[in-house]
A and B are shown apart, each in its own frame.
Chain A
């Protein structure tokens, strides 16, 4: 594969590309929609990326990718991003780190840990009673029984499906 350097803005228009695509379609390959980027990583951490590729999939699970490969030098990008972050003050520069005392660092870590605890506490409400709202108890029981789920899950599914029992059960049994 001939690779084009990063940031290059070149489009290769192969004469045979169209022919190749047609041939591939005839082989029964199906287009895979929604792929934004295909990347290959080489041994030396060099990344070859194809943006907005056309991807075809064969019945056997092999893929054929069309598009312009460009070298995406990850380490170089990372360095650039870091430099930018330091300049804008998001990341502390090495000088700042050096001037921080161990006590300061410990205080920072404790604050971070406390914030983390709060976040998990807010998310972890699976054991708590969920407000059933205006849902009928019989409906909730029915969904719990049929889909074999907890009350909270049944309530959530019923709410998501606006009280539609069949749809709620179906969404839970997938």
Chain B
């Protein structure tokens, strides 16, 4: 934002909205983490459409059949222009179907790490589901159980 279009009023409001975003994203991350502590990820079902989210994920992104790439990825590989375009197409498949499919959500970049400043990135909800459902099915989150 350049300085001459800066307006204190709108800046204030944006900050508020962003804060709300962050609050919900953190609540969601906490709730999900607590679920993984209570129940092994491999037994957890997140939505009614887990199967569909997973099969379309593998169909659209065959490179993530590789367990290692599900386990750990970089923010950059999700945010290249080409990747963004593919994700956008994937996202629209769930429009009006999966609740909050395009809400900002925290996603761990490493299935072996807890949520942290350097181990979580901001994605949309459907990306979170795609990765976490895949991780849960590969039992990559089972280590969290009972922690």
From A30, A139, A142, A166, B28 is in contact (CB under 8 Å) with: A166
From A142, A163, A169, B48 is in contact (CB under 8 Å) with: A163
Are the C-beta atoms of A162 and B12 separated by less than 8 Å? no
Instruction: Digitize A116-154: 1 where CB-to-B-CB distance is under 8 Å, 0 elsewhere.
Output: 000000000000000000001011001001100000000
Are the C-beta atoms of A167 and B100 separated by less than 8 Å? yes
**Chain A residues with Cβ under 8 A from B24's Cβ?**
170
Are the C-beta atoms of B9 and A146 separated by less than 8 Å? no
Are the C-beta atoms of A142 and B38 separated by less than 8 Å? yes
- Tell me what chain B mostly uses at the interface: helix, strand, loop, or mixed: helix
- Tell me what chain A mostly uses at the interface: helix, strand, loop, or mixed: helix
User: How many chain B residues touch the partner (CB < 8 A)?
Assistant: 20
How far, in angstroms, from A139 to B32 measured CA to CA in the complex?
13
- With A142-B38, A142-B39 given, is the CB distance from A162 to B47 under 8 Å? yes
Say how far B58's CB is from chain A's closest CB, in angstroms: 21
Within 8 A of B (CB), among A1-54: 25, 30
B52 an interface residue at 8 Å Cβ cutoff? Answer: no
How far, in angstroms, from A160 to B100 measured CA to CA in the complex?
13
**Chain A residues with Cβ under 8 A from B100's Cβ?**
164, 167
Are the C-beta atoms of B45 and A139 separated by less than 8 Å? yes
Tell which of B28, B31, B34, B39 has the most Cβ of chain A within 10 Å: B31
Are the C-beta atoms of B38 and A146 separated by less than 8 Å? yes
**Chain A residues with Cβ under 8 A from B43's Cβ?**
138
A165 an interface residue at 8 Å Cβ cutoff? Answer: yes
Say how far B44's CB is from chain A's closest CB, in angstroms: 8
B51 an interface residue at 8 Å Cβ cutoff? Answer: no
In the complex, residue of chain B having the shortest beta-carbon distance to the beta carbon of A145:
B38
In the complex, residue of chain A having the shortest beta-carbon distance to the beta carbon of B105:
A166
How far, in angstroms, from A77 to B35 measured CA to CA in the complex?
57
From B27, B39, B98, A170 is in contact (CB under 8 Å) with: B27
Are the C-beta atoms of B45 and A169 separated by less than 8 Å? no
How far, in angstroms, from A161 to B31 measured CA to CA in the complex?
15
A173 an interface residue at 8 Å Cβ cutoff? Answer: yes
- With A136-B45, A139-B45, A146-B31 given, is the CB distance from A25 to B9 under 8 Å? yes
Chain A residues in contact with chain B, CB under 8 A? 25, 30, 136, 138-139, 142, 145-146, 161-167, 169-170, 173
Known A136-B45, A146-B31; further 6 A-B contacts with Cβ < 8 A: A142-B35, A146-B34, A162-B99, A164-B46, A164-B100, A165-B46
Give 27 A-B contacts (CB < 8 Å), ordered by A residue.
Answer: A30-B12, A136-B45, A138-B43, A138-B45, A142-B39, A145-B38, A146-B34, A146-B35, A146-B38, A162-B47, A162-B99, A163-B48, A164-B46, A164-B47, A164-B98, A164-B100, A165-B35, A165-B44, A165-B46, A166-B28, A166-B31, A166-B32, A167-B99, A169-B35, A170-B28, A170-B31, A173-B31
